[in-house]
């Protein structure tokens, strides 16, 4: 069992839909990162969380330290949001989830 589990693995949505990607972890952490990877491209850091909630544009990330769970929400999804979203926990080294492939169709 991976120390960082993401769900779902794959997600398709219609433009405008509300998206939720979940991340659960089993180790002690100092922070949790949400990353975005476009096809053939590099990796961009979306959020770093150690508690509570953060919002950036249409993206919202939440974390519950007691339950060892985080969610990434995308409101009013758009085709340009299509990418792989990766959860990574900072446990003295980054431990990555397997990623969630999101495809948003017009």
Residues in 51-80 that interact with other proteins by CB under 8 A: none
Touching other proteins, residues 17-56 (CB under 8 A):
30-31, 33, 35, 37, 41-45, 48, 50
Shortest Å, Cβ 69 to other proteins: 18
Please, what is the minimum distance in Å from the beta carbon of residue 101 to other proteins? 8
Strand residue runs (E) in the chain: 4-7, 10-14, 19-25, 31-37, 43-49, 52-56, 59-64, 69-74, 83-90, 94-96, 100-105
Q: Which of residues 75-104 bind other proteins (CB under 8 A)?
A: 84, 86, 88, 90-94, 96, 98-99
Phi, psi of 79 (to 5 degrees): -50, -30
Which token pair is 62? 């939440």
Task: Count the site residues for other proteins by CB under 8 A.
Answer: 23
Q: How far is CA 94 from CA 17, 81, 82, in A?
A: 31, 24, 24
Give the nearer residue to other proteins in terms of CB position, either 17 or 68: 68
State the Cα–Cα distance between residues 84 and 10, nearest whole angstrom: 9
Binding stretches for other proteins (CB under 8 A): 30-31, 33, 35, 37, 41-45, 48, 50, 84, 86, 88, 90-94, 96, 98-99
């Amino acid at each position: 069992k991976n120390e960082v589990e993401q769900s779902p693995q794959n997600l398709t949505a219609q433009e405008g839909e509300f998206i939720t990607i979940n991340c659960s972890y089993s180790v002690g952490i100092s922070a949790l990162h949400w990353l975005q990877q476009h096809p053939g491209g590099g990796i961009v850091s979306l959020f770093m969380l150690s508690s509570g909630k953060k919002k950036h544009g249409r993206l919202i990330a939440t974390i519950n330290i007691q339950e060892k769970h985080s969610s990434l929400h995308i409101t009013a999804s758009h085709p340009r949001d299509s990418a792989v979203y990766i959860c990574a926990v900072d446990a003295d080294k980054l431990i990555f989830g397997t990623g969630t492939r999101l495809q948003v169709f017009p």
